[in-house]
Amino acid sequence: MASKPKILVTKLLFSAARAVLDKTGEIDYWAGPEAIPRAELLKRVADKDALVCLLNDKIDAELLAAGPQLRIVATVSVGYDNIDVPACTARKVIATNTPGVLDDTTADLAWALMLAIARRLVEGDAWVRSGNWRGFSMDHLLGADVYGKTLGIIGFGRIGRCVAKRGLGFGMRVLYSGSKRAPVDVEKELNAEFVEQDRLFNESDFVSLHVPLNPQTRHLISKENLEKMKRTAFLINTSRGPVVDEEALAEALENKIIAGAALDVFEHEPKINPKLTARRDAILAPHIGSATVETRTRMMVLAAQNVAAFFDGRTPPNALNKDALGLK
Ligand code: DGY
């Protein structure tokens, strides 16, 4: 490419990532506080060679047609359900994500949610601030113990395993289910047992979700599966909102089918099901699983490095369609 590549970035990145991109091409940043509007995205992508996007930017056939020069699309997220990867492949566009740099941070948040819902921390905070708390009492805000309980992890990839690792410190029994069994040494190290999903639902005190969103996992937490859970169990979701059928969850909470839910992600973000906002047995966080300064910096830098590698003539380290495009 004779002239400098033109790169559209849908968020003003931190300086460490901007430094990588500045060396790579000519950058057009969307600097608005809100996500870039779809019409603006379609307009700005028209003359771009690369796009660095966020998980709320939908990268589909329409977008790819609007950016006929695009060669690479890099999402600043590990989940890439926002990208139609086959559509990218069909247009010979490389798609990349940011795996491996947010696992512990996301696991920390899953644990924060788990502890907060079990110990009713958010309710307690609201009570203290309300000015209505009248001092210690033996039976105020009684929660559930976390240590020594059974933790069920659905999806035992990098993040699920980091969640399991923290369970060791809390003396928990860890069950996991997923599309494939982990190597025996991993199971041993994490003291984790591979079980059928139904058994996980039946026996877990905490069910934590760590699956990608795809047609198999959409509404995995259905009315039917919620009914398999213990009445004293809690659901934790830091994966993707549509993995949970929120109507079924709200109904399960209402009917005391499970004890509570702590969610960082929602079915129709940023819209929240009003049946959930009204509940004290639900904690609702604004998709902050990876939201630490260190991790968000790493994610942005990694996305920028993927783009830089491509224009440097190398295969981007996190190319999702590497094999489909026949890249080495
Ligand atoms: C991801 O990376 O997929 C998270 O949901 C956002 O950090």
User: How close is the Cα of 292 to the center of ligand 1, in Å?
Assistant: 12
Q: Which residues have a Cβ under 8 Å from the Cβ of 269 and sit 6 or more positions away?
A: 56, 241, 287
Q: Could you read off the pLDDT of 35-50 as tens digits, one per residue?
A: 999 999 999 999 999 9
HEC secondary structure over 78-110: CCCCCECHHHHHHCCCEEECCCCCCHHHHHHHH
Half-sphere exposure of 44 (CA within 13 A, CB side): 20
269 is catalytic: yes
Ligand 1 within 6 A of 316 CB?
Answer: no
> DSSP character for 27?
E
Q: What is the CATH number of domain 6-101+293-325?
A: 3.40.50.720
Domain 103-284 has CATH 3.40.50.970: no
Distance of CA 110 to the CA centre of its chain: 10
The answer to whether 210 is a known catalytic residue is no
Share of the chain above pLDDT 90, in %: 98
Q: Confirm or reject: Cβ of 55 under 6 Å from ligand 1.
A: yes
Return the structure tokens found at 38. 């779809």
At residue 29, the pLDDT reads 97
Would you say residue 1 has pLDDT above 80? no
Q: Is residue 316's pLDDT more than 90?
A: yes
Does 2 score more than 80 pLDDT? no
The pLDDT tens digits for 117-143 are 999 999 999 999 999 999 999 999 999
Residue 267: predicted pLDDT:
98
Whether the pLDDT of residue 58 is over 60: the answer is yes
List 161, 287, 296, 298, catalytic entry: 287
247-to-200, 205, 280 alpha-carbon distances in Å: 22, 22, 16
CA nearest ligand 1 atom 4, residue:
77
Distance 296 CA to ligand 1 centre (A): 10
Contact residues for 76 (Cβ-Cβ < 8 A; gap 6+): 11, 13, 52, 53, 54, 55, 98, 299, 300, 303
- CA nearest neighbour of 63 among 76, 47, 50, 45: 45
All CATH 3.40.50.720 domain ranges of the chain, comma separated, are 6-101+293-325, 103-284
- Mean pLDDT of the chain, nearest integer: 97
Give the mean pLDDT of 188-208: 98
CB-ligand 1 contact for 79 (6 Å cutoff): yes
58: closest CA among 39, 71, 34? Answer: 39
218 is catalytic: no
